[in-house]
Amino acid sequence: MRKGKSMTGFEKVKKNFGFGCMRLPMKGKEVDQAEFSRMVDTYIAAGFNYFDTARVYLGGKSETAIRECIAKRYPREAFVLADKLSASLFNSREEIRPLFEKQLESCGVEYFDFYLMHSQNRDVFEKYKHCHAYEQAFELKKEGKVRHVGLSFHDKADVLEDILKQYPQVEFVQIQLNYLDYDDLAVQGRQCYEMCRKYNKPVIVMEPVKGGSLVNLPDDAAQVLKSLKGGSPASYAIRFAAGFDGIFMVLSGMSNMEQMQDNISFMQDFHPLDKRETEAVKRVCGIYQSKRLIPCTACRYCTDGCPKQIDIPNLFSCLNAKKLHNDWNADYYYSDVCAVNNGKASDCIGCGKCERSCPQHLPIRALLKDVAKEFEK
């Protein structure tokens, strides 16, 4: 790993495991800052220092939690911070710099180590070009307010190549890579990774456990990994992602100390999957694919602005639970928890806003009809 870091020029980064701050510990609707602080202390004490956030995470509360729990409690040289420019927050070039300054203020820092053009796909990229967003980021780097400029990506590999050709100054790429999506035709994990290698771009991995899907496995899949007697389901997923050449960082969104301690236990002294473990992971993929589950990562981008306030990820989770475990509780959670203060699946008016926001390119409107058919009989 040290060799990989020196090749990237990211010498300030310690180790190859990053703290993703999209799914923080919560108390109601607020970040549990006491618990987050304890997790930060444990993480830094173990020798790690990379934190990843975005202004759209937790409605801006992720950035302010970083200010309170990290920036105010540690010297700036003790941590590496990545933030992002999100498409929903600007509509012109003139709006970008004031937004960036607010991000610095919210995080309590004077510069970002890494700054990403967020969730790039074919359509979003056109907006960034029109608003000269990449040029603005490169200018901020010249001013010392950003150390490294990159992008996070959710689209086909040919779109990524187009971006890298147009902006060769991009220093790194953040992609979705996990053993379930590696050969997925929609996500194109393998192809996107190979495109990064083609253009010699260091890779950051997001969604290594696919929003928790590779932790909460179907019973028969969980048994495959349990038979290895070598670690948690998360350990195999994260080690799979971290084992590729050119991967300099794997992010994990951790919401409690138990997840933090588990991840540290196998990433502090990292070893890639061996042959036996790799074969087991392939078997898990086969089992998963046979279940025909909805591959939602619960990023919640789809819920912002839903005119019927449908809690789409939780409704999908109910359907997946019923498919996986024939779980009668799924009916209760659907009717009495997930849909009690939000819209039901059948309330969808088909506007399509959710599908335009979905990084997984899911046919959400059609899937909501499946949910309604199962739970609203």
Give the pLDDT of the chain (377 residues) as one tens digit per residue: 334 444 456 889 999 999 999 999 999 999 999 999 999 999 999 999 999 999 999 999 999 999 999 999 999 999 999 999 999 999 999 999 999 999 999 999 999 999 999 999 999 999 999 999 999 999 999 999 999 999 999 888 999 999 999 999 999 999 999 998 898 777 789 999 999 999 999 999 999 998 888 998 888 999 999 999 889 999 999 999 999 999 999 999 999 999 999 999 999 999 999 999 999 999 999 998 788 788 898 888 999 889 999 999 888 888 887 877 665 567 766 876 677 788 999 999 999 999 998 988 899 999 999 999 999 87
Whether residue 261 sits in one domain with residue 204: yes
Residue ending a domain, among 243, 268, 289, is: 289
Whether residue 361 sits in one domain with residue 213: no
According to the model, what pLDDT value does residue 213 have? 84
Domain with 254 in it: 2-289
According to the model, what pLDDT value does residue 323 have? 79
Radius of gyration over every alpha carbon of the chain, rounded to an integer in angstroms: 20
Whether residue 356 sits in one domain with residue 254: no
d(CA 335, CA 307) in angstroms, rounded, equals: 20
d(CA 169, CA 135) in angstroms, rounded, equals: 10
According to the model, what pLDDT value does residue 337 have? 65
According to the model, what pLDDT value does residue 377 have? 79
According to the model, what pLDDT value does residue 291 have? 80
d(CA 124, CA 255) in angstroms, rounded, equals: 29
Task: Supply the CATH number for residue 197's domain.
Answer: 3.20.20.100
Residue ending a domain, among 264, 289, 314, is: 289
Whether residue 311 sits in one domain with residue 221: no
Q: Let me know if residue 62 belongs to a domain.
A: yes
Whether residue 371 sits in one domain with residue 226: no
Angle at 113 between CA 112 and CA 115, to 5 degrees: 65
Q: Let me know if residue 217 belongs to a domain.
A: yes
Q: How far apart are the first and last CA of the chain?
A: 54
Q: Let me know if residue 266 belongs to a domain.
A: yes
Letter for the amino acid at 65? A
Q: Let me know if residue 295 belongs to a domain.
A: no
Whether residue 278 sits in one domain with residue 328: no
Work out how many domains the chain is built from and give that number.
2
According to the model, what pLDDT value does residue 326 have? 62
